[in-house]
Chains A and B, each alone.
Chain A
Protein backbone atom coordinates (compact mmCIF):
# COMPACT_ATOMS: atom_id res chain seq x y z
CA UNK A 1 0.00 0.00 0.00
CA UNK A 2 2.73 2.40 0.91
CA UNK A 3 4.34 1.79 -2.41
CA UNK A 4 1.16 2.67 -4.30
CA UNK A 5 0.79 6.11 -2.77
CA UNK A 6 3.77 7.79 -4.37
CA UNK A 7 2.73 6.30 -7.70
CA UNK A 8 -0.71 7.84 -7.43
CA UNK A 9 0.87 11.13 -6.49
CA UNK A 10 3.16 11.11 -9.47
CA UNK A 11 0.17 10.33 -11.75
CA UNK A 12 -1.68 13.34 -10.34
CA UNK A 13 1.32 15.56 -10.89
CA UNK A 14 1.61 14.31 -14.44
CA UNK A 15 -2.06 15.08 -15.18
CA UNK A 16 -1.79 18.58 -13.73
CA UNK A 17 1.38 19.18 -15.69
CA UNK A 18 -0.41 17.98 -18.83
CA UNK A 19 -3.27 20.41 -18.28
CA UNK A 20 -0.90 23.29 -17.67
CA UNK A 21 1.06 22.47 -20.79
CA UNK A 22 -2.19 22.19 -22.76
CA UNK A 23 -3.07 25.67 -21.62
CA UNK A 24 0.25 27.03 -22.79
CA UNK A 25 0.30 25.31 -26.12
CA UNK A 26 -1.97 22.43 -27.27
CA UNK A 27 0.74 20.93 -29.43
CA UNK A 28 3.14 20.79 -26.51
CA UNK A 29 0.41 19.16 -24.40
CA UNK A 30 -0.19 16.45 -27.00
CA UNK A 31 3.52 15.72 -27.23
CA UNK A 32 3.70 15.55 -23.45
CA UNK A 33 0.77 13.11 -23.23
CA UNK A 34 2.19 10.82 -25.88
CA UNK A 35 5.57 10.86 -24.19
CA UNK A 36 4.00 10.18 -20.84
CA UNK A 37 1.88 7.32 -22.12
CA UNK A 38 4.93 5.70 -23.66
CA UNK A 39 6.97 5.91 -20.47
CA UNK A 40 4.05 4.84 -18.29
CA UNK A 41 3.45 1.79 -20.42
CA UNK A 42 7.07 0.91 -20.09
CA UNK A 43 7.06 1.22 -16.34
CA UNK A 44 3.85 -0.76 -16.05
CA UNK A 45 4.98 -3.50 -18.35
CA UNK A 46 8.34 -3.43 -16.59
CA UNK A 47 6.77 -3.87 -13.22
CA UNK A 48 6.66 -7.62 -13.16
CA UNK A 49 9.81 -8.35 -15.13
CA UNK A 50 11.61 -5.92 -12.91
CA UNK A 51 10.84 -7.88 -9.79
CA UNK A 52 11.73 -11.08 -11.62
CA UNK A 53 15.03 -9.56 -12.54
CA UNK A 54 15.79 -8.46 -8.99
CA UNK A 55 14.89 -11.93 -7.80
CA UNK A 56 17.25 -13.32 -10.35
CA UNK A 57 20.00 -11.03 -9.09
CA UNK A 58 19.38 -12.13 -5.56
CA UNK A 59 19.58 -15.73 -6.61
CA UNK A 60 22.84 -15.16 -8.39
CA UNK A 61 24.18 -13.51 -5.27
CA UNK A 62 23.09 -16.42 -3.15
CA UNK A 63 24.64 -18.85 -5.56
CA UNK A 64 27.91 -16.97 -5.47
CA UNK A 65 27.85 -16.89 -1.73
CA UNK A 66 27.22 -20.58 -1.38
CA UNK A 67 29.85 -21.48 -3.90
CA UNK A 68 32.41 -19.47 -1.94
CA UNK A 69 34.37 -21.64 0.39
CA UNK A 70 33.81 -19.23 3.23
CA UNK A 71 30.16 -20.05 3.37
CA UNK A 72 30.59 -23.73 2.83
CA UNK A 73 33.16 -23.63 5.56
CA UNK A 74 30.78 -22.11 8.05
CA UNK A 75 28.18 -24.68 7.11
CA UNK A 76 30.66 -27.41 7.50
CA UNK A 77 31.76 -26.21 10.87
CA UNK A 78 28.16 -26.20 11.94
CA UNK A 79 27.85 -29.81 10.89
CA UNK A 80 31.06 -30.55 12.61
CA UNK A 81 30.06 -28.91 15.83
CA UNK A 82 26.81 -30.87 15.75
CA UNK A 83 28.70 -34.08 15.49
CA UNK A 84 31.22 -32.73 17.94
CA UNK A 85 34.19 -34.20 16.16
CA UNK A 86 36.52 -31.32 15.40
CA UNK A 87 38.76 -33.49 13.29
CA UNK A 88 36.00 -33.90 10.70
CA UNK A 89 36.72 -30.37 9.64
CA UNK A 90 39.92 -31.56 8.05
CA UNK A 91 38.25 -33.97 5.65
CA UNK A 92 35.62 -31.63 4.46
CA UNK A 93 37.46 -29.02 2.52
CA UNK A 94 40.20 -29.20 0.04
CA UNK A 95 38.94 -26.85 -2.61
CA UNK A 96 39.84 -23.31 -3.71
CA UNK A 97 43.46 -22.25 -3.90
CA UNK A 98 43.29 -19.93 -0.87
CA UNK A 99 41.79 -22.28 1.62
CA UNK A 100 43.57 -25.58 1.33
CA UNK A 101 43.42 -27.50 4.56
CA UNK A 102 45.26 -30.58 5.72
CA UNK A 103 43.62 -33.94 5.30
CA UNK A 104 43.69 -36.97 7.49
CA UNK A 105 45.17 -40.28 6.43
CA UNK A 106 47.74 -38.57 4.31
CA UNK A 107 51.41 -38.18 4.99
CA UNK A 108 53.03 -34.84 4.44
CA UNK A 109 56.59 -33.62 4.18
CA UNK A 110 56.89 -30.25 5.82
CA UNK A 111 59.82 -28.29 4.45
CA UNK A 112 60.99 -25.48 6.70
CA UNK A 113 62.77 -22.51 5.12
CA UNK A 114 64.72 -20.59 7.71
CA UNK A 115 67.75 -18.85 6.27
CA UNK A 116 67.30 -16.26 3.55
CA UNK A 117 64.83 -15.73 0.76
CA UNK A 118 67.53 -16.32 -1.86
CA UNK A 119 68.27 -19.69 -0.36
CA UNK A 120 64.58 -20.45 -0.11
CA UNK A 121 64.13 -19.80 -3.82
CA UNK A 122 67.02 -22.16 -4.61
CA UNK A 123 65.50 -24.92 -2.53
CA UNK A 124 62.01 -24.42 -3.89
CA UNK A 125 63.31 -24.46 -7.44
CA UNK A 126 64.65 -27.99 -6.97
CA UNK A 127 61.57 -29.48 -5.40
CA UNK A 128 59.36 -31.72 -7.48
CA UNK A 129 55.75 -30.55 -7.33
CA UNK A 130 53.57 -32.51 -4.99
CA UNK A 131 50.55 -31.84 -2.87
CA UNK A 132 52.31 -33.78 -0.15
CA UNK A 133 54.70 -30.91 0.49
CA UNK A 134 53.98 -28.21 3.01
CA UNK A 135 56.20 -25.18 2.69
CA UNK A 136 57.01 -23.44 5.97
CA UNK A 137 58.07 -19.84 6.21
CA UNK A 138 60.36 -20.16 9.23
CA UNK A 139 60.40 -17.88 12.27
CA UNK A 140 63.69 -16.18 11.34
CA UNK A 141 62.34 -15.33 7.88
CA UNK A 142 59.18 -13.86 9.34
CA UNK A 143 61.10 -11.86 11.91
CA UNK A 144 63.51 -10.56 9.30
CA UNK A 145 61.24 -9.82 6.37
CA UNK A 146 57.89 -9.60 8.12
CA UNK A 147 54.83 -10.76 6.22
CA UNK A 148 56.72 -9.91 3.05
CA UNK A 149 58.45 -13.28 3.50
CA UNK A 150 55.13 -15.10 3.16
CA UNK A 151 54.04 -13.32 0.03
CA UNK A 152 57.53 -13.69 -1.51
CA UNK A 153 57.59 -17.43 -0.87
CA UNK A 154 54.06 -17.72 -2.17
CA UNK A 155 55.27 -16.19 -5.39
CA UNK A 156 58.04 -18.80 -5.67
CA UNK A 157 55.77 -21.85 -5.48
CA UNK A 158 52.96 -23.07 -7.72
CA UNK A 159 49.55 -21.68 -6.75
CA UNK A 160 47.73 -23.99 -4.42
CA UNK A 161 50.81 -24.87 -2.40
CA UNK A 162 50.16 -25.16 1.32
CA UNK A 163 52.03 -22.44 3.21
CA UNK A 164 52.72 -22.63 6.95
CA UNK A 165 53.64 -19.43 8.75
CA UNK A 166 55.84 -20.45 11.68
CA UNK A 167 55.08 -17.36 13.73
CA UNK A 168 55.51 -19.18 17.09
CA UNK A 169 52.91 -17.06 18.81
CA UNK A 170 53.43 -16.50 22.55
CA UNK A 171 51.02 -13.65 23.27
CA UNK A 172 48.52 -11.41 21.46
CA UNK A 173 47.25 -14.40 19.47
CA UNK A 174 44.38 -12.66 17.72
CA UNK A 175 46.61 -9.97 16.28
CA UNK A 176 49.21 -12.43 15.02
CA UNK A 177 46.74 -14.86 13.46
CA UNK A 178 45.07 -11.99 11.68
CA UNK A 179 48.39 -10.80 10.27
CA UNK A 180 49.41 -14.30 9.10
CA UNK A 181 46.02 -15.16 7.59
CA UNK A 182 45.90 -11.88 5.72
CA UNK A 183 49.36 -12.53 4.35
CA UNK A 184 48.02 -15.72 2.78
CA UNK A 185 49.22 -18.48 5.11
CA UNK A 186 47.24 -21.74 5.27
CA UNK A 187 48.37 -22.45 8.81
CA UNK A 188 49.92 -20.59 11.74
CA UNK A 189 51.79 -21.88 14.78
CA UNK A 190 51.49 -21.15 18.48
CA UNK A 191 53.86 -22.21 21.26
CA UNK A 192 52.72 -24.96 23.59
CA UNK A 193 54.57 -23.21 26.41
CA UNK A 194 52.48 -20.06 25.96
CA UNK A 195 49.76 -19.24 28.52
CA UNK A 196 46.66 -21.42 28.04
CA UNK A 197 44.58 -18.30 27.45
CA UNK A 198 46.78 -17.45 24.49
CA UNK A 199 46.55 -20.94 22.97
CA UNK A 200 42.78 -20.96 23.34
CA UNK A 201 42.39 -17.62 21.69
CA UNK A 202 44.85 -18.71 18.98
CA UNK A 203 42.80 -21.79 18.05
CA UNK A 204 39.60 -19.79 18.08
CA UNK A 205 41.08 -17.10 15.89
CA UNK A 206 42.47 -19.65 13.41
CA UNK A 207 39.01 -21.11 12.99
CA UNK A 208 37.64 -17.67 12.39
CA UNK A 209 40.15 -17.05 9.62
CA UNK A 210 39.71 -20.53 8.15
CA UNK A 211 43.32 -21.64 8.57
CA UNK A 212 44.82 -24.66 10.33
CA UNK A 213 46.11 -24.23 13.87
CA UNK A 214 49.42 -25.86 14.78
CA UNK A 215 50.60 -26.06 18.38
CA UNK A 216 54.36 -26.30 18.60
CA UNK A 217 55.32 -28.40 21.62
CA UNK A 218 58.91 -27.27 21.81
CA UNK A 219 60.25 -27.50 25.35
CA UNK A 220 56.92 -28.87 26.59
CA UNK A 221 57.41 -31.91 28.76
CA UNK A 222 54.01 -33.49 28.37
CA UNK A 223 52.04 -32.46 25.29
CA UNK A 224 48.99 -34.38 26.48
CA UNK A 225 48.83 -32.23 29.60
CA UNK A 226 48.64 -29.09 27.47
CA UNK A 227 45.99 -30.59 25.17
CA UNK A 228 43.87 -31.58 28.13
CA UNK A 229 43.67 -28.00 29.36
CA UNK A 230 42.48 -26.57 26.04
CA UNK A 231 38.89 -25.59 25.34
CA UNK A 232 39.12 -26.84 21.78
CA UNK A 233 41.62 -29.05 19.99
CA UNK A 234 44.04 -27.60 17.44
CA UNK A 235 44.28 -29.13 13.96
CA UNK A 236 47.88 -30.22 14.36
CA UNK A 237 50.22 -30.92 17.27
CA UNK A 238 53.87 -30.51 16.46
CA UNK A 239 56.42 -32.45 18.50
CA UNK A 240 59.56 -30.47 18.38
CA UNK A 241 63.20 -30.52 19.23
CA UNK A 242 64.77 -27.10 18.90
CA UNK A 243 67.77 -26.49 16.67
CA UNK A 244 69.81 -25.13 19.58
CA UNK A 245 68.82 -28.07 21.74
CA UNK A 246 69.80 -30.58 19.09
CA UNK A 247 73.13 -28.91 18.51
CA UNK A 248 74.19 -28.31 22.06
CA UNK A 249 72.86 -31.38 23.81
CA UNK A 250 72.83 -34.42 21.63
CA UNK A 251 71.15 -36.69 24.10
CA UNK A 252 67.75 -35.03 23.83
CA UNK A 253 65.51 -37.24 21.72
CA UNK A 254 62.51 -36.60 19.53
CA UNK A 255 59.67 -37.95 21.64
CA UNK A 256 58.39 -40.59 19.21
CA UNK A 257 56.49 -42.43 21.91
CA UNK A 258 54.27 -39.39 22.34
CA UNK A 259 52.90 -39.74 18.81
CA UNK A 260 50.97 -42.90 19.63
CA UNK A 261 49.96 -41.49 22.98
CA UNK A 262 48.44 -38.36 21.44
CA UNK A 263 46.85 -40.12 18.50
CA UNK A 264 45.35 -42.69 20.82
CA UNK A 265 43.69 -40.06 22.95
CA UNK A 266 42.80 -37.41 20.37
CA UNK A 267 41.78 -37.51 16.76
CA UNK A 268 44.29 -34.94 15.51
CA UNK A 269 47.26 -34.77 13.17
CA UNK A 270 50.72 -35.10 14.65
CA UNK A 271 53.76 -33.45 13.12
CA UNK A 272 57.29 -34.35 14.13
CA UNK A 273 60.01 -31.76 13.82
CA UNK A 274 63.70 -32.07 14.41
CA UNK A 275 64.84 -34.76 12.01
CA UNK A 276 66.96 -34.04 9.01
CA UNK A 277 67.96 -37.31 7.34
CA UNK A 278 65.87 -39.76 5.36
CA UNK A 279 66.38 -42.23 8.17
CA UNK A 280 64.77 -39.92 10.65
CA UNK A 281 61.97 -39.18 8.22
CA UNK A 282 61.34 -42.90 7.83
CA UNK A 283 61.42 -43.37 11.53
CA UNK A 284 58.86 -40.64 12.09
CA UNK A 285 56.51 -42.04 9.44
CA UNK A 286 56.99 -45.50 10.87
CA UNK A 287 56.01 -44.14 14.26
CA UNK A 288 52.75 -42.93 12.77
CA UNK A 289 53.49 -39.23 12.35
CA UNK A 290 51.27 -37.51 9.78
CA UNK A 291 53.63 -34.68 9.02
CA UNK A 292 57.42 -34.83 9.04
CA UNK A 293 59.25 -31.54 9.35
CA UNK A 294 62.73 -31.33 7.82
CA UNK A 295 65.21 -28.54 7.39
CA UNK A 296 68.93 -29.01 7.59
CA UNK A 297 69.56 -31.25 4.63
CA UNK A 298 67.55 -28.98 2.51
CA UNK A 299 70.25 -26.41 2.72
CA UNK A 300 73.43 -28.40 2.89
CA UNK A 301 73.39 -29.55 -0.71
CA UNK A 302 71.04 -29.40 -3.61
CA UNK A 303 71.19 -33.07 -4.55
CA UNK A 304 70.26 -34.04 -1.00
CA UNK A 305 67.21 -31.86 -1.18
CA UNK A 306 65.73 -33.43 -4.27
CA UNK A 307 66.78 -36.89 -3.10
CA UNK A 308 65.13 -36.65 0.27
CA UNK A 309 61.94 -35.26 -1.22
CA UNK A 310 61.79 -37.96 -3.88
CA UNK A 311 62.58 -40.72 -1.45
CA UNK A 312 59.85 -39.45 0.80
CA UNK A 313 57.34 -39.49 -2.02
CA UNK A 314 58.34 -43.06 -2.90
CA UNK A 315 58.15 -44.19 0.70
CA UNK A 316 54.68 -42.96 1.34
CA UNK A 317 53.12 -44.37 -1.80
Chain B
Protein backbone atom coordinates (compact mmCIF):
# COMPACT_ATOMS: atom_id res chain seq x y z
CA UNK B 1 0.00 0.00 0.00
CA UNK B 2 1.07 3.55 -0.59
CA UNK B 3 2.43 5.73 2.16
CA UNK B 4 0.60 9.05 2.37
CA UNK B 5 3.67 10.98 3.39
CA UNK B 6 5.82 9.84 0.53
CA UNK B 7 6.09 10.89 -3.10
CA UNK B 8 6.07 8.37 -5.92
CA UNK B 9 7.12 8.27 -9.53
CA UNK B 10 4.89 6.10 -11.68
CA UNK B 11 6.27 4.89 -15.00
CA UNK B 12 3.86 3.54 -17.59
CA UNK B 13 4.78 0.84 -20.08
CA UNK B 14 2.99 0.37 -23.37
CA UNK B 15 5.38 -1.42 -25.68
CA UNK B 16 6.18 -5.01 -26.53
CA UNK B 17 7.33 -7.59 -24.00
CA UNK B 18 11.01 -7.55 -24.85
CA UNK B 19 11.22 -3.77 -24.97
CA UNK B 20 9.50 -3.41 -21.61
CA UNK B 21 11.72 -6.01 -20.02
CA UNK B 22 14.77 -4.15 -21.20
CA UNK B 23 13.45 -0.80 -19.97
CA UNK B 24 12.72 -2.14 -16.52
CA UNK B 25 16.28 -3.38 -16.22
CA UNK B 26 17.49 0.20 -16.78
CA UNK B 27 15.53 1.65 -13.85
CA UNK B 28 17.13 2.31 -10.48
CA UNK B 29 15.84 -0.15 -7.89
CA UNK B 30 13.58 1.74 -5.49
CA UNK B 31 10.23 1.15 -3.87
CA UNK B 32 9.36 4.79 -4.62
CA UNK B 33 8.96 3.82 -8.25
CA UNK B 34 5.60 2.48 -9.31
CA UNK B 35 5.35 0.36 -12.44
CA UNK B 36 2.24 0.75 -14.54
CA UNK B 37 0.94 -1.71 -17.12
CA UNK B 38 -0.52 0.66 -19.71
CA UNK B 39 -3.93 0.07 -21.27
CA UNK B 40 -2.59 -0.99 -24.69
CA UNK B 41 -0.13 -3.29 -22.94
CA UNK B 42 -2.95 -4.98 -21.01
CA UNK B 43 -5.15 -5.26 -24.08
CA UNK B 44 -2.28 -6.85 -25.92
CA UNK B 45 -0.99 -9.29 -23.32
CA UNK B 46 -3.84 -9.61 -20.83
CA UNK B 47 -3.22 -10.63 -17.21
CA UNK B 48 -0.04 -12.37 -18.33
CA UNK B 49 1.46 -8.97 -19.05
CA UNK B 50 0.71 -7.73 -15.54
CA UNK B 51 2.17 -10.78 -13.84
CA UNK B 52 5.33 -10.53 -15.96
CA UNK B 53 5.78 -6.90 -14.92
CA UNK B 54 5.33 -7.96 -11.34
CA UNK B 55 7.93 -10.69 -11.79
CA UNK B 56 10.53 -8.52 -13.51
CA UNK B 57 10.21 -5.62 -11.12
CA UNK B 58 10.23 -7.71 -7.96
CA UNK B 59 13.35 -9.47 -9.23
CA UNK B 60 14.94 -6.10 -9.77
CA UNK B 61 14.21 -4.50 -6.41
CA UNK B 62 14.02 -7.78 -4.49
CA UNK B 63 11.17 -6.70 -2.25
CA UNK B 64 7.47 -5.95 -2.35
CA UNK B 65 6.48 -4.06 -5.48
CA UNK B 66 3.64 -1.75 -6.43
CA UNK B 67 2.16 -2.49 -9.83
CA UNK B 68 -0.69 -0.47 -11.32
CA UNK B 69 -2.90 -2.11 -13.93
CA UNK B 70 -4.28 0.72 -16.03
CA UNK B 71 -7.53 -1.04 -16.83
CA UNK B 72 -9.51 2.11 -17.61
CA UNK B 73 -12.59 0.23 -16.53
CA UNK B 74 -15.80 1.49 -18.11
CA UNK B 75 -18.30 -1.24 -17.31
CA UNK B 76 -18.42 -4.52 -15.36
CA UNK B 77 -16.40 -2.94 -12.58
CA UNK B 78 -16.16 -6.00 -10.39
CA UNK B 79 -15.19 -8.57 -12.98
CA UNK B 80 -12.07 -6.87 -14.29
CA UNK B 81 -10.75 -5.96 -10.85
CA UNK B 82 -10.61 -9.53 -9.66
CA UNK B 83 -8.63 -10.76 -12.65
CA UNK B 84 -5.99 -8.09 -12.18
CA UNK B 85 -5.70 -8.59 -8.43
CA UNK B 86 -4.99 -12.28 -9.08
CA UNK B 87 -2.33 -11.35 -11.60
CA UNK B 88 -0.48 -9.35 -8.96
CA UNK B 89 -1.65 -5.78 -9.45
CA UNK B 90 -1.58 -3.55 -6.35
CA UNK B 91 -3.93 -0.99 -7.86
CA UNK B 92 -6.31 -0.76 -10.79
CA UNK B 93 -7.87 2.20 -12.58
CA UNK B 94 -11.44 3.04 -13.50
CA UNK B 95 -12.52 5.89 -15.77
CA UNK B 96 -14.16 8.87 -14.13
CA UNK B 97 -16.27 8.99 -17.29
CA UNK B 98 -17.86 5.65 -16.49
CA UNK B 99 -21.40 5.45 -15.12
CA UNK B 100 -21.49 6.22 -11.37
CA UNK B 101 -22.83 2.71 -10.72
CA UNK B 102 -19.70 1.26 -12.29
CA UNK B 103 -17.35 3.45 -10.27
CA UNK B 104 -19.14 2.59 -7.04
CA UNK B 105 -19.02 -1.09 -7.83
CA UNK B 106 -15.37 -0.77 -8.80
CA UNK B 107 -14.33 0.90 -5.53
CA UNK B 108 -16.26 -1.62 -3.50
CA UNK B 109 -14.67 -4.54 -5.30
CA UNK B 110 -11.18 -3.09 -4.88
CA UNK B 111 -11.80 -2.88 -1.14
CA UNK B 112 -13.03 -6.48 -1.11
CA UNK B 113 -9.98 -7.92 -2.82
CA UNK B 114 -7.63 -5.60 -0.95
CA UNK B 115 -6.08 -3.45 -3.67
CA UNK B 116 -6.05 0.31 -4.22
CA UNK B 117 -8.66 1.93 -6.42
CA UNK B 118 -7.63 4.73 -8.77
CA UNK B 119 -10.16 6.90 -10.60
CA UNK B 120 -8.76 8.25 -13.83
CA UNK B 121 -10.22 11.69 -14.55
CA UNK B 122 -9.35 11.67 -18.26
CA UNK B 123 -11.62 14.10 -20.13
CA UNK B 124 -13.59 14.85 -16.95
CA UNK B 125 -14.19 18.55 -16.61
CA UNK B 126 -14.98 18.66 -12.92
CA UNK B 127 -13.38 15.74 -11.07
CA UNK B 128 -14.72 17.21 -7.88
CA UNK B 129 -18.31 16.61 -8.91
CA UNK B 130 -17.67 12.97 -9.65
CA UNK B 131 -16.15 12.47 -6.21
CA UNK B 132 -19.19 14.07 -4.60
CA UNK B 133 -21.51 11.57 -6.24
CA UNK B 134 -19.63 8.51 -5.01
CA UNK B 135 -20.75 6.32 -2.12
CA UNK B 136 -17.19 5.73 -1.02
CA UNK B 137 -13.97 7.53 -1.90
CA UNK B 138 -11.29 5.89 -4.03
CA UNK B 139 -7.72 5.62 -2.72
CA UNK B 140 -6.23 7.67 -5.54
CA UNK B 141 -7.56 10.26 -7.97
CA UNK B 142 -5.63 10.53 -11.24
CA UNK B 143 -5.69 13.93 -12.89
CA UNK B 144 -5.03 13.17 -16.48
CA UNK B 145 -4.53 14.64 -19.86
CA UNK B 146 -4.74 12.08 -22.61
CA UNK B 147 -1.82 11.42 -24.91
CA UNK B 148 -3.92 12.06 -28.02
CA UNK B 149 -5.20 15.30 -26.50
CA UNK B 150 -1.68 16.34 -25.69
CA UNK B 151 -0.42 15.83 -29.20
CA UNK B 152 -3.25 17.37 -31.14
CA UNK B 153 -4.26 20.17 -28.86
CA UNK B 154 -1.44 22.04 -27.21
CA UNK B 155 -3.40 24.52 -25.19
CA UNK B 156 -5.05 22.00 -22.88
CA UNK B 157 -3.24 22.02 -19.54
CA UNK B 158 -2.77 19.70 -16.63
CA UNK B 159 -5.25 20.96 -14.03
CA UNK B 160 -2.83 21.61 -11.20
CA UNK B 161 -5.28 23.87 -9.43
CA UNK B 162 -7.58 20.91 -8.92
CA UNK B 163 -5.08 19.20 -6.64
CA UNK B 164 -5.55 21.60 -3.75
CA UNK B 165 -9.26 21.64 -4.17
CA UNK B 166 -9.56 17.91 -3.95
CA UNK B 167 -7.04 17.56 -1.13
CA UNK B 168 -8.71 20.32 0.82
CA UNK B 169 -12.08 18.60 0.69
CA UNK B 170 -11.00 14.99 0.91
CA UNK B 171 -8.16 14.36 3.27
CA UNK B 172 -7.62 10.68 2.63
CA UNK B 173 -7.34 10.75 -1.13
CA UNK B 174 -3.97 10.61 -2.84
CA UNK B 175 -3.52 12.61 -6.03
CA UNK B 176 -1.69 11.34 -9.03
CA UNK B 177 -0.91 13.59 -11.98
CA UNK B 178 -0.35 12.21 -15.46
CA UNK B 179 0.80 14.08 -18.52
CA UNK B 180 4.12 15.70 -17.64
CA UNK B 181 7.34 14.36 -19.10
CA UNK B 182 10.40 16.27 -17.97
CA UNK B 183 11.99 16.55 -14.55
CA UNK B 184 10.63 20.08 -14.44
CA UNK B 185 7.10 18.82 -14.98
CA UNK B 186 7.62 16.25 -12.26
CA UNK B 187 8.96 18.84 -9.81
CA UNK B 188 6.05 21.10 -10.66
CA UNK B 189 3.54 18.35 -9.98
CA UNK B 190 5.04 17.69 -6.57
CA UNK B 191 5.31 21.38 -5.83
CA UNK B 192 1.57 21.55 -6.42
CA UNK B 193 1.16 18.93 -3.74
CA UNK B 194 0.53 15.87 -5.84
CA UNK B 195 1.58 12.49 -4.40
CA UNK B 196 2.29 10.57 -7.56
CA UNK B 197 3.68 11.78 -10.88
CA UNK B 198 3.06 9.60 -13.92
CA UNK B 199 5.47 9.63 -16.86
CA UNK B 200 5.71 7.45 -19.91
CA UNK B 201 6.63 9.17 -23.12
CA UNK B 202 10.26 10.08 -22.62
CA UNK B 203 10.95 6.40 -22.20
CA UNK B 204 10.35 5.61 -25.82
CA UNK B 205 12.28 8.52 -27.07
CA UNK B 206 15.27 7.77 -24.89
CA UNK B 207 15.09 5.07 -22.22
CA UNK B 208 18.30 6.29 -20.61
CA UNK B 209 16.85 9.75 -20.05
CA UNK B 210 13.99 8.30 -18.11
CA UNK B 211 16.36 6.20 -16.06
CA UNK B 212 18.19 9.45 -15.31
CA UNK B 213 14.91 11.16 -14.54
CA UNK B 214 14.09 8.39 -12.10
CA UNK B 215 17.45 8.81 -10.38
CA UNK B 216 17.07 12.56 -10.13
CA UNK B 217 13.60 12.05 -8.77
CA UNK B 218 14.99 9.78 -6.07
CA UNK B 219 17.57 12.41 -5.11
CA UNK B 220 14.87 15.03 -5.02
CA UNK B 221 12.62 13.28 -2.55
CA UNK B 222 15.37 12.32 -0.12
Point out residues on A near B: beta carbons under 8 Å: 114, 139-140, 142-149, 167-168, 170-173, 175-176, 179-180, 191, 193-195, 197-198, 200-201, 218-219, 242-245, 247-249
Contact = CB atoms under 8 A, between A and B. Distances in A.
Contacts of A219: 74, 97-99
A144 B123 contact: no
Interface of B: 14, 38-40, 42-49, 71-72, 74-77, 79-80, 83-84, 95, 97-99, 101-102, 104-105, 122-123, 146-149, 151-153
Contacts of A146: 42-46, 48-49
B39 A170 contact: yes
B146 to A, nearest CB: 4
A3 to B, nearest CB: 46
A114 B75 CA distance: 11
A143 B146 contact: no
A58 B151 CA distance: 42
Contacts of B48: 146
B99 A197 contact: no
A198 B48 CA distance: 27
Contact of B43 (A167, A201, A249): A167
A198 B80 contact: no
B220 to A, nearest CB: 28
Q: Which 3 residue pairs are nearest across A and B when measured between Cβ atoms?
A: A146-B46, A193-B97, A248-B101
Contact of A179 (B40, B75, B77, B95): B40
B52 to A, nearest CB: 11
Contacts of A194: 97, 122-123, 146
Nearest to A175: B40
Given A146-B48, A170-B72, A248-B101, A197 B40 contact: no
A171 B122 contact: yes
A249 B152 contact: no
Contacts, number: 133
A173 B47 CA distance: 21
Contacts of A245: 75, 99, 101-102
Contacts of A179: 40, 43-44
B14 A172 contact: yes
A209 to B, nearest CB: 15
A195 B144 CA distance: 11
Contacts of A175: 14, 40
Nearest to A114: B76
Contact of B79 (A140, A142, A171, A180): A140
Contacts of A195: 122-123, 146, 148-149
Contact of B74 (A114, A145, A147, A218): A218
A244 B77 contact: yes
A218 B99 CA distance: 8
A249 B47 CA distance: 30
A239 to B, nearest CB: 14
B75 A244 contact: yes
A198 B148 CA distance: 5
Contacts of B148: 171-173, 195, 197-198, 201
B71 A143 contact: yes
**Residue picked from A139, A173, A247, most chain B C-beta under 10 Å:** A139
Contact of A243 (B45, B76, B95): B76
A143 B44 contact: no
